[in-house]
């Protein structure tokens, strides 16, 4: 399960703010288990969204990629750096 915590593309009225958007299975009672931070990027290496997930997976990219032009995802590793999944 995953949730968007930061939206870096909603700067005008044409796009809605996606902070708080979550997977269909998001459960606030289990939210503390969402320890994996991720970033979603477009082809120009611009960060579109930041979020948290309970597992390292392509799920956020699969759900938001096509609709918002995201083409890859990075997760925060144990060394404190984001790496492409």
Which tens digits make up the pLDDT trace of 53-77? 999 999 999 998 888 999 999 999 9
**pTM for the whole thing?**
0.88
H or E stretch including 64?
Answer: helix 59-68
What's the pLDDT tens digit per position in 2-44?
999 998 887 665 556 788 889 999 988 888 888 999 999 999 9
Structure tokens at 22: 């979550």
Give CA angle at 21 (31, 41), nearest 5°: 105
């Amino acid at each position: 399960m995953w949730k968007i915590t930061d939206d870096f593309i909603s700067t005008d009225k044409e796009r809605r703010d996606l902070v708080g958007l979550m997977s269909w299975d998001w459960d606030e009672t289990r939210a503390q288990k969402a320890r994996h931070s991720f970033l979603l990027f477009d082809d120009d290496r611009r960060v579109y969204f930041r979020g948290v997930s309970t597992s390292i997976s392509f799920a956020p990219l699969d759900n938001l990629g096509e609709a918002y032009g995201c083409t890859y995802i990075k997760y925060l590793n144990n060394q404190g750096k984001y790496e492409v999944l």
